Homo-oligomer: A and B are copies of this chain.
């Protein structure tokens, strides 16, 4: 079992299971870039190992429809034609994704119902109902000669789920109690730092009900577009309090459409109004469901907060609920959105009020319950940064699994299970592939280093035209971008130009004509001067033209 992503990081979850000459892929997600990946749109796993073993791959099994578990598939399926197995909603969401990449026709999607098993090549895979912040999530039990491997990422145990479908405790118990026993458990570490139980999704329904009861004018709610159960609860409240619903934001509209079509979301047609027609209804009869719960710069709620949404202007009396918590790294953006909404007069209800959002990931008590139900021989914490994996390992030890039977994995570790032990058996090529626009992997460290340099102090370009003998014909001319306001720094630029001119003159007089020497001369004289004057290090790019 080898992770291509999702351990030691949040995102791009993907594992490869190998038995003999056969391979099974579990999930294939994307990761959203950290701040230091300037200009990068997405990060996907390095698929090299899988593609080199194409003929071995029997298929891909999916746990749920979040992008950090399915978003890498379009890039993988371009080069790997194998069937994909998942529950109905998971594949419904994947379809939309594949359509955008023109891959839908070529891909065999096989719906599996939770509670059922499926045969993928020689692998038998049980799809086991668990709860999560998206409907139709499953843990997987993959049967191997040494016993089943249970892959439970992501999950929570919701004792009062919206759709009435509690997790399949019985199946998990049955596996744990079987004679052979469970070989290994792979389990979600996201919330391992939280004590107790994660609250039920129903709690949010109660908060939503209170908000609807109190609000006199418009209600605007931002939440994750994939949280179908949350959306259903908002719809139910709207029905109860006699409000119509409008949707805004591309992913909100798409996901609602897919979920309604597949029967995961019940909304009477006459409850839905087009966002352009909102203004024809009284404010007390409207609820608006929108994207932007993370303060993403171009999402609908962010536009409303900024005042540049096409159809909706925030006004006094509006109640805005942000039904989400800020994903680490987004706190500032969410905060800015809240400030702007308040400034426009809205009443904003967000994370500081309890019951506005609940997590989709299991807390400590649920993680221990999973461990005690499944009773695995070996344990591999997944879905978390290193500290989460470390703490989940400590938690598993407390439930009685010995330290030797726990493995904290790094991306690319080939983890081998035998009857005697769990151990690393070498590495495979792995890592991050960066996607920028349509380019896949054409941006790497050097390009990013340059982008960082450019972003901090800009660039100075020095152009000089010389003749074949090395005499200067035109220039040196200095052009800058992202450096300083030229008008306020005329003196500096003039003095810098003179510096370069003088040092080139010296070269000319010493009959130095090698371009590399000239370029270094320009770079050094300018670098020193600029740093001494204003303590900055712009990128300096000498360009020599010879005529």
Alpha-carbon distance between A387 and B35 when the two chains are bound, in angstroms: 26
Q: Tell me how many residues of A have a C-beta within 8 Å of chain B.
A: 68
A458 to chain B, nearest CB (A): 6
A541: contacting residue among B339, B342, B461, CB under 8 A:
B461
A346 to chain B, nearest CB (A): 10
A343 and chain B: residue at smallest CB distance: B386
For residue A443, CB closer than 8 A to chain B, the reply is yes
Q: A8-B339, A454-B455 are in contact. Are A481 and B545 (CB under 8 A)?
A: no
Contact with B along A458-502 (1 / 0, CB 8 A): 110101010000000111010101111100110000000000000
Question: Taking the complex as formed, is A338 at the interface, i.e. its CB lies under 8 A from any CB of chain B?
Answer: yes
Q: Please judge, given known A-B contacts A193-B352, A463-B545, A541-B481, whether A437 and B332 are in contact too, CB under 8 Å.
A: no
Interface of A is mostly: mixed
The residue that A547 contacts in the complex, of B39, B387, B446, B465, with Cβ under 8 A, is B465
Query: A81 at the A/B interface (Cβ < 8 Å)?
Result: no
The reply to whether B488 and A455 contact each other, CB–CB distance below 8 Å, is no
Do A456 and B535 contact each other (CB < 8 Å), given the known contacts A390-B342, A465-B465? no
Note all chain B residues with C-beta closer than 8 A to A55: none
Tell me if B39 and A455 are in contact (CB < 8 A).
yes
A450 proximal to B (CB < 8 A)? yes
- Does residue A533 face the partner (Cβ distance < 8 Å to B)? yes
Do A328 and B328 touch (CB < 8 A)? no
Residue pair A437, B536 in contact (C-beta under 8 Å) = yes
CA distance A515 to B489 in the complex (A): 25
Across the interface, which residues of B come within 8 angstroms of A213, CB to CB?
none
Kindly list chain B residues whose C-beta atoms are within 8 Å of the C-beta of A541. Answer: 461, 479, 481
Q: Determine if B481 and A450 form an interchain contact, defined as CB atoms under 8 angstroms apart.
A: yes
Complex Cα spacing A481 to B390, Å? 40
Q: Which of B342, B444, B479 contacts A387 (CB 8 A)?
A: B342
Q: Are B348 and A387 in contact (CB under 8 A)?
A: yes
Of all chain B residues, the one with the shortest Cβ separation from A334 is B328
Q: In the complex where A332-B35, A348-B387, A475-B545 touch, is A481 in contact with B465 (Cβ < 8 A)?
A: no
CA distance A100 to B308 in the complex (A): 45
Is the C-beta of A422 less than 8 angstroms from some C-beta in chain B?
no
Contact: A533 with B438, CB < 8 Å? Answer: yes
A444 proximity list for chain B (CB < 8 A): 485
Query: Which residues from B are CB-within-8-Å of A203?
Result: none
Name A12-55 residues within 8 Å CB distance of B.
34-35, 38-39
Q: Which residues of B contact A348 (CB under 8 A)?
A: 387
Q: How far is the CB of A544 from chain B (nearest CB, A)?
A: 9
| Cβ contact within 8 Å between B339 and A536 | no
- Give A328's nearest chain B residue, CB to CB: B331
Distance of A470 from chain B, by nearest CB (Å): 15
Q: Are B442 and A482 in touch, CB under 8 angstroms?
A: no
Given A447-B482, A456-B39, A482-B454, A438 contacting B534 (CB threshold 8 A): yes
| A546 / chain B contacts, CB cutoff of 8 Å | 474
Q: Evaluate contact between A436 and B454: CB separation under 8 angstroms.
A: no
In the complex, what distance in Å separates the CA atom of A499 from the CA atom of B444?
26
Known: A8-B339, A339-B386, A438-B535. A39 touches B481 (CB 8 A): no
Query: A174 to nearest B CB, angstroms?
Result: 35
Known A386-B339, A481-B539, A545-B465; judge A451-B455 contact (CB<8 A): yes
Query: Which residues from B are CB-within-8-Å of A488?
Result: 441-442
Residues of B within 8 A of A352 (CB): 193
Residues of B within 8 Å of A39, CB to CB, are 455-458, 482, 536
A-B contact pairs, 8 of them (CB 8 A): A38-B455, A342-B386, A447-B485, A451-B454, A454-B481, A459-B481, A461-B543, A479-B541
Question: What is the interface of chain A, defined by CB distance below 8 A to chain B?
Answer: 8, 34-35, 38-39, 193, 328-329, 331-332, 335, 338-340, 342-343, 348, 352, 385-387, 390, 436-439, 441-444, 446-448, 450-459, 461, 463, 465, 473-475, 477, 479, 481-485, 488-489, 533-536, 539, 541, 543, 545-547
Given contacts A339-B386, A340-B386, 13 further A-B contacts (CB under 8 A): A39-B456, A329-B331, A338-B387, A348-B387, A436-B536, A437-B457, A454-B459, A454-B481, A463-B543, A463-B545, A474-B546, A474-B547, A477-B545
Closest 7 CB pairs of A and B: A455-B455, A437-B535, A450-B482, A39-B456, A454-B454, A451-B482, A339-B386
